[in-house]
Amino acid sequence: MTPLAERYREWLPLEAGARVVSLGEGSTPLVRAESLSDELGLDLWLKLESANPTGSFKDRGMTVAVSCALARGARSVICASTGNTAASAAAYAARAGLTAAILLPRGAVALGKLAQARATGARLLEVRGSFDQALRAAAALAESHAAYALVNSINPDRIEGQKTAAFELVEELGRAPDVVALPYGGGGNTRAYARGFAEWGAGLPRLVAGAATRRADTFASAIRIVEPVHAAEAEAAVRESHGAVVPLADEEIEAAWRLLSEREGVFCEPASAAGLAALRKAGATGTAIVVVTGHGLKDAAAVERAAGPVAEVDPDPDALAKSLG
């Protein structure tokens, strides 16, 4: 597949001739959810952003942010992250020959994401504090030291890259969908979709953004963000679209997460099911997209909550039949 920075280069803030740091991101599968379409009385499609190179939509923004950082002479990228930004920043920095400094809020990061960042040799630091405090510290360092480029989503290049998911949806469907449902963590991605549809001139779908009621300690770790940095713009976009921000209990996120796996075979991380959970709660009609933001293997430990223990059996057909009952 053509990397998104080439596919949509004229829409992105990349200088002519600038090196594009790419791992082949974008052009992700759009899969019809047959079973859930029937259940919800909708034409429901899943945009599998989990199929991006490091397993989350963050790669769309990171290819642009790291390419721009390289062009501007940065030597290191820095971010605060609950995991997926870290995994993505570390991979694209490695690809670009830059170092990556990753600030992790204490105890709040899923294991798979941590492994991805550590594998690249990135400099990981656990910050004694919340995500929001880590982000402020990273931003202040980048502000005062030109060698560091901040690649959190307050870097506008991130949003620019992420808006390309909306372009792909319109190109694939031949028009804008009626509804786009997605998780609401910091709100950057909600903003990015709104911008993408606006720039493409295809009309703004209703944006349905699922937020954890328990922002500080939801089991959906990717949206464990107490102070959404894009709240004002994201919520303005949701209002303009006649959509809704839908507060979700962890039980509602978990139920939607199980449905995606059990009914559609789509194993995502818990936060990635917040779009479906919000859609089920708010209701919708027409053609709806659920953005599946990150892969299930990112947070395999979450499965322990939901799945029963594995039974033991002898290697014998009768024993198998009995156990499978």
Contacts with ligand PLP by CB under 6 A lie at 56, 58, 84, 153, 183-190, 222-223, 269, 271-272, 293-294
Pick between residue 104 and residue 222 the one whose CB is nearest to ligand PLP.
222
Pick between residue 130 and residue 190 the one whose CB is nearest to ligand PLP.
190
Q: Shortest gap between Cβ of 197 and ligand PLP (angstroms)? A: 16
Pick between residue 3 and residue 185 the one whose CB is nearest to ligand PLP.
185
Q: Shortest gap between Cβ of 286 and ligand PLP (angstroms)? A: 24
Alpha helices in 209-273 (DSSP H): 231-240, 250-264
Pick between residue 177 and residue 188 the one whose CB is nearest to ligand PLP.
188
Q: Shortest gap between Cβ of 46 and ligand PLP (angstroms)? A: 14
Pick between residue 306 and residue 313 the one whose CB is nearest to ligand PLP.
306
Q: Shortest gap between Cβ of 255 and ligand PLP (angstroms)? A: 17
Measured CA angle at 112 (ends 110, 115), to 5 deg: 110
Q: Shortest gap between Cβ of 76 and ligand PLP (angstroms)? A: 21
Cβ-contact 144, 176 below 8 angstroms: no
DSSP per-residue string spanning 150-177: E-STTSHHHHHHHTHHHHHHHHHHSS--
Cβ-contact 23, 5 below 8 angstroms: no
Pick between residue 84 and residue 99 the one whose CB is nearest to ligand PLP.
84
Sequence-ordered list of residues with C-beta below 8 angstroms from that of 28, at least 6 positions apart, any chain: 47, 48, 49, 50, 51, 52, 165, 168
Cβ-contact 150, 78 below 8 angstroms: yes
Pick between residue 48 and residue 170 the one whose CB is nearest to ligand PLP.
48
Rg of the chain over Cα atoms, rounded to whole angstroms, equals: 20
Q: How many CB atoms lie within 10 A of CB 159?
A: 24
Cβ-contact 147, 175 below 8 angstroms: no
Pick between residue 86 and residue 142 the one whose CB is nearest to ligand PLP.
86
Which residue from 120, 122, 24, 14 is spatially nearest to 72, judged by alpha carbons?
Answer: 14
For β-strands 123-127 and 148-150, DSSP reports them as unpaired
Tokens of 8: 């949509």
- Token pair 């620019």 is found at 160
Q: Shortest gap between Cβ of 213 and ligand PLP (angstroms)? A: 15
* 226: phi then psi, degrees, rounded to nearest 5: -80, -40
Beta bridge partners of residue 47, listed in sequence order: 30, 291
Q: Shortest gap between Cβ of 226 and ligand PLP (angstroms)? A: 12
Q: Shortest gap between Cβ of 80 and ligand PLP (angstroms)? A: 12
Q: In what order do the strands lie in the sheet with 148-150?
A: 123-127, 99-105, 76-80, 148-150
